[in-house]
A and B are shown apart, each in its own frame.
Chain A
Amino acid sequence: MSLVLHKVTAAVPGLMLEVSTECGPGVTAVFGPSGAGKTTVLEWVAGLRAPTGGVIQLGDRVLHDSGRKISVPARLRGIGYVPQDLALFPHLSVRENLGYGRPAAAAPGFDRVVEVLELPTLLGRGIAALSGGERQRVALGRALLAGPRLLLLDEPLAGLDAPLKARLIPFLARIRDEFRLPMLLVTHDRYEVLALADRLIVLLAGRVAQAGTVREVFQRPANLAVAGLLAVETVQPGRIERRAEGLAVVRVGSVALTAVAGDLPAGAREVFVCIRAEDVILLGATGAAASARNRLPGVVRSVADTGPLVRVELDCGFPLVVALTRPACADLELRPGATVTALIKAPHLHLIPR
C-alpha cells in the first residue's frame, strides 16, 4: 500500500507548501526543521486539514483531489493519527481510550495490542495518572486498535528525555514489525530517523528537498541545505563484534572500527555507524602512529569543492565522506586514486541500534 501526494499545495502562515512524494510500505520519516510544514503534511493525509490543490491517494483510493472536488472525511479514511500532543481523551479511562475507535472485525486483537505495548496494568487508570511514556503508548494503542491502513506519527518521541526515548523506540519498532503497518513518521531528530525509518523524505521550507532510502539520503545529500540538516555524512550498517571497557568494536564491511559504546543498549547487535565528515582526519599515505583508535587506509574516490570545505569521498572498505579545508586538501595533494589514511577517534563514531 503506497501513499502518493501529487502537487499538494496550501498556504499556512509564513509558508507556501507544495509537496509531491510517494511513500511505500515500511516506515517513512518526514524529516525537516521546525516550520518546514511537516505536521501540515500529516494533517492533509489524516483529513484534518484540506489542501488548496493537488491529489492524495492511498493505495488505489483517492483521499483528496482538489480538481475533482473529492475529499474523503477523516472518519472514513482509515488512517491512524497520533498527534504530537497525543490528544488522549481526558474524561475516559485507558481502556475506553483504547477502545474508542475499534471496529468490530478489522482491528488486530485488543489483547495483542495491549500486550505488545505493555499496557495490561494501566487499563483501569485515568489519563491524568499516566506518565509521559505511558501516555505515548496509550495513544499508539488507540490509533492501532481502530484498524488503520496507515499510521501517522507526529514527533512521537519529542519532549521525552533520552532514557525514555530509548525505551519507547523498541515499542515503535515492534509495531512496525508485528503489525506490518505502513507508517509516516514526522521528526526533526536524526536518531529517530536512523532507528526507525526505511525511507526518508527531507522537507525544507514547504518543499520536498530530497527523498530516498535513509542511507542514500544521508550518503548523498542532494544539496548543501540537506547536507547541513542531516549533518552526518557517513551512515553504514555495522555489526557489534565485542564490547569491553565502554568501547565497542563494530564490523563495517571488511573493516573493524572502535567506538564508544555510550548508552547503546546492552543487547544491540546490528547498528548504524554514523560519522560526521568534519570528524575525520586524513594523513598522507605514510602516516605515523597516532592516538586515534581507528586508522583506515583508503583510496580517494572523488573530491568536490563545496564552499569553505572540500568534500572528499574515500573507499576504506566502505564509502567514507570527509570534509577538509581547502589548504589541507592542497597539502595532501588529494585527487581521485590517491592513497591516504583516515583517522577517527572512537568517541566520534556514533552507533545507533537498528
Chain B
Amino acid sequence: MTAADWNLIGFTVVAALAGTLLMLPFGLALAWWLARREWRGKVLVETLITLPLVLPPVATGLILLRVLGRRGPVGGFLHRHFDLDLVFTGRVVPFVLAVMAFPLFVRSARVAFEELDPRLEAIARTLGAGEWRVFRTISLPLAARGLAAGWLLAFARALGEFGATIMVAGNIPGRTTTLSLAIYDAVQLGDDGRAFRLLGVSVALALGAVGVSEWLGRRRHRSRSAP
C-alpha cells in the first residue's frame, strides 16, 4: 500500500461518511413522513426517490451535472453568489454520494418506522408528549437498529459508487478519484497488483458494513420475537 493508496481510501471513506451523514436528517424525516402519514402526492414522491436506485448511475450523474454545473440552477446560483464551483471538485463527491445513497436509506428507514407499533406513539401522546418528543423518545430509539442497518447499507453503497461520481466529479487523481474509479484506472493501465490490492480493500469495507447491517437486522428480529 502506498501513501497515495491510503489517501485514496481515506478520501473515499470520508466522502461516503459525509455524504450519508448529509442525507441522514432528510432521509429520516422523509422515511417517517412516508411511514406515518397519508398525504397527497405521496406516490409521486415515492417514485421520484426510488429513481436513483433504478436509473443507470451515469444517467443520474448527468442530471446532477446539469443541476450542479455552472449553467445549472444550483451550480449557477452558488457560482454567482458565493463564487463556489462544485463540479469536477472533491467537495462535490459527498453530494453525489448523498443523492445515490438516499433512496436506499429511505426505503430501509421507512420499513423500520412501519414496523413500530403505532400504539406506542399514540399512548405517548395521551401522556402529553408532542410530536417531536414522541419522535425523539419513542419512534427513533425503537427504530434505531433498523435505521442503523439502513444507514450502513447506504454507506456501503456510497463507498462503491462509480457512474454518478465520474460524471459529476470526473476522475482527477488525488482530488476526485474514489476507490472504484481507482480500480478502473488500475485495470485500464494494466496495473493488476494495485487493482487487486484496492479490490481487497473494497471487499473488506463492504463486508464490514453489510455484515454489521445484517447483524443489526437479526438482533432486531430476535428482540421482537422475545416475549
Which of B122, B126, B142 is in CB contact (< 8 Å) with A80? B126
Q: Is the CB of B120 within 8 A of A87?
A: yes
5 contacts between A and B (CB under 8 A): A48-B125, A87-B119, A100-B137, A101-B126, A143-B127
Nearest-neighbor residue (CB-CB) of B123 within chain A: A87
Q: Is A280 an interface residue when CB atoms closer than 8 A count as contact?
A: no
Q: Is the CB of B122 within 8 A of A48?
A: yes
Q: Is B83 an interface residue when CB atoms closer than 8 A count as contact?
A: no
Once the chains are docked, how many angstroms separate the CA of A73 from the CA of B141?
A: 24
Most chain B CB within a 10 A radius of its CB, from A79, A85, A89: A89
Q: Is B130 an interface residue when CB atoms closer than 8 A count as contact?
A: yes
Contact A89:B120 (CB < 8 A) given known A75-B130, A128-B226, A128-B227: yes
Once the chains are docked, how many angstroms separate the CA of A47 from the CA of B142?
A: 23
Contact A90:B142 (CB < 8 A) given known A146-B127, A146-B128: yes
4 tightest A-B contacts by CB? Answer: A101-B127, A74-B125, A87-B123, A87-B119
> B125 to chain A: which residues have CB within 8 Å?
47-48, 73-75
Closest CB in chain A relative to B177 CB, distance in Å = 43
> Which A58-95 residues have C-beta < 8 A from chain B?
73-81, 83, 85, 87, 89-91
Q: Is the CB of B126 within 8 A of A142?
A: no
Which of A83, A85, A100 is in CB contact (< 8 Å) with B129? A100
Q: Is A168 an interface residue when CB atoms closer than 8 A count as contact?
A: no
> Which B86-132 residues have C-beta < 8 A from chain A?
117, 119-120, 122-130
Closest CB in chain A relative to B127 CB, distance in Å = 3
Q: Is B138 an interface residue when CB atoms closer than 8 A count as contact?
A: yes
> B117 to chain A: which residues have CB within 8 Å?
87
Closest CB in chain B relative to A126 CB, distance in Å = 11
> B122 to chain A: which residues have CB within 8 Å?
48, 74, 87
Q: Is A41 an interface residue when CB atoms closer than 8 A count as contact?
A: no
Contact A75:B138 (CB < 8 A) given known A87-B117, A128-B226: no
Q: Is the CB of B142 within 8 A of A75?
A: no
> B124 to chain A: which residues have CB within 8 Å?
89, 100-101
Contact A91:B127 (CB < 8 A) given known A85-B119, A128-B226, A128-B227: no
> B123 to chain A: which residues have CB within 8 Å?
81, 83, 87
> A46 to chain B: which residues have CB within 8 Å?
126
> B138 to chain A: which residues have CB within 8 Å?
89
Q: Is A336 an interface residue when CB atoms closer than 8 A count as contact?
A: no
Closest CB in chain A relative to B123 CB, distance in Å = 4
| Bitwise interface map of B from 126 to 150 toward A, beta carbon under 8 Å scored 1, else 0 | 1111100000011001100000000
Q: Is the CB of B128 within 8 A of A83?
A: no
Once the chains are docked, how many angstroms separate the CA of A76 from the CA of B130?
A: 9
Chain B binding surface, main DSSP class = helix
Once the chains are docked, how many angstroms separate the CA of A74 from the CA of B123?
A: 9
Q: Is A109 an interface residue when CB atoms closer than 8 A count as contact?
A: no
Nearest-neighbor residue (CB-CB) of B133 within chain A: A75
Q: Is the CB of A91 within 8 A of B142?
A: yes
Nearest-neighbor residue (CB-CB) of B130 within chain A: A75
Once the chains are docked, how many angstroms separate the CA of A85 from the CA of B128?
A: 20
Once the chains are docked, how many angstroms separate the CA of A91 from the CA of B145?
A: 12
> Which A27-64 residues have C-beta < 8 A from chain B?
46-48
Nearest-neighbor residue (CB-CB) of A142 within chain B: B127
Once the chains are docked, how many angstroms separate the CA of A142 from the CA of B142?
A: 19
Most chain A CB within a 10 A radius of its CB, from B119, B128, B138, B227: B128
Q: Is A337 an interface residue when CB atoms closer than 8 A count as contact?
A: no
Closest CB in chain A relative to B133 CB, distance in Å = 9
Nearest-neighbor residue (CB-CB) of A74 within chain B: B125
| Bitwise interface map of B from 194 to 227 toward A, beta carbon under 8 Å scored 1, else 0 | 0000000000000000000000000000000011
Once the chains are docked, how many angstroms separate the CA of A85 from the CA of B117?
A: 11
Nearest-neighbor residue (CB-CB) of A103 within chain B: B128
Once the chains are docked, how many angstroms separate the CA of A75 from the CA of B126?
A: 5
Once the chains are docked, how many angstroms separate the CA of A128 from the CA of B128?
A: 24
Nearest-neighbor residue (CB-CB) of B117 within chain A: A87
| Bitwise interface map of B from 33 to 68 toward A, beta carbon under 8 Å scored 1, else 0 | 000000000000000000000000000000000000
Most chain A CB within a 10 A radius of its CB, from B117, B125, B130: B125
> B126 to chain A: which residues have CB within 8 Å?
46-48, 74-75, 77, 79-81, 101, 143, 146
Q: Is the CB of A83 within 8 A of B226?
A: no
> A48 to chain B: which residues have CB within 8 Å?
122, 125-126
Closest CB in chain A relative to B116 CB, distance in Å = 10
Once the chains are docked, how many angstroms separate the CA of A57 from the CA of B137?
A: 30
Which of A79, A83, A91 is in CB contact (< 8 Å) with B141? A91
Closest CB in chain A relative to B135 CB, distance in Å = 13
Once the chains are docked, how many angstroms separate the CA of A46 from the CA of B137?
A: 21
Once the chains are docked, how many angstroms separate the CA of A102 from the CA of B99?
A: 42
Contact A83:B119 (CB < 8 A) given known A100-B127, A101-B128: yes
> A146 to chain B: which residues have CB within 8 Å?
126-128
Closest CB in chain A relative to B55 CB, distance in Å = 38
